[in-house]
Amino acid sequence: MDTTTRWIAILGIATLCFAIALFVLRVPIRTILVFFAIGIPLIVLWLYAEEKSKQQKRVNTITEQACICSICKHEHARMCLQQKCACCIMMKGDDIIGHSINPLQ
């Protein structure tokens, strides 16, 4: 987790905790909603950033792999990533979720 992501997470969680504390203190709900309105987008942003960095890590791991796929005949998975080979790159929507080096798949 990089510094920015960590701060987003801390801010988001702190804001939500503060909102819950206010709720316990019976502060008017409208005031609390303001904090929820700040906290929830921060959490969403954090989860999104987390997902992106996980994706980046996955891509980095694949880049170092060799490809023994008999369909595209690439030697390195890096080439498969660049060309998004349908034969061995596993996609989920626009996200790359893995590289299969099993020639039967």
d(CA 39, CA 45): 10
Query: Which helix (DSSP H) or strand (DSSP E) does residue 89 occupy?
Result: strand 89-92
Q: What are 60's two structure tokens?
A: 């980095």
Least distance CB 67 / Zn ion (angstroms): 5
88 counts as binding Zn ion under rule CB under 5 A? yes
3-state secondary structure (DSSP) of residue 102: coil
96 binds Zn ion (CB under 5 A): no
Binding to Zn ion (CB under 5 A): which residues in 9-68? Answer: none
Q: Which residue of 9, 39, 74, 99 would you call a contact of Zn ion, by CB under 5 A?
A: 74
The residue ranges that bind Zn ion (CB under 5 A) are 69, 71-72, 74, 80, 85, 87-88
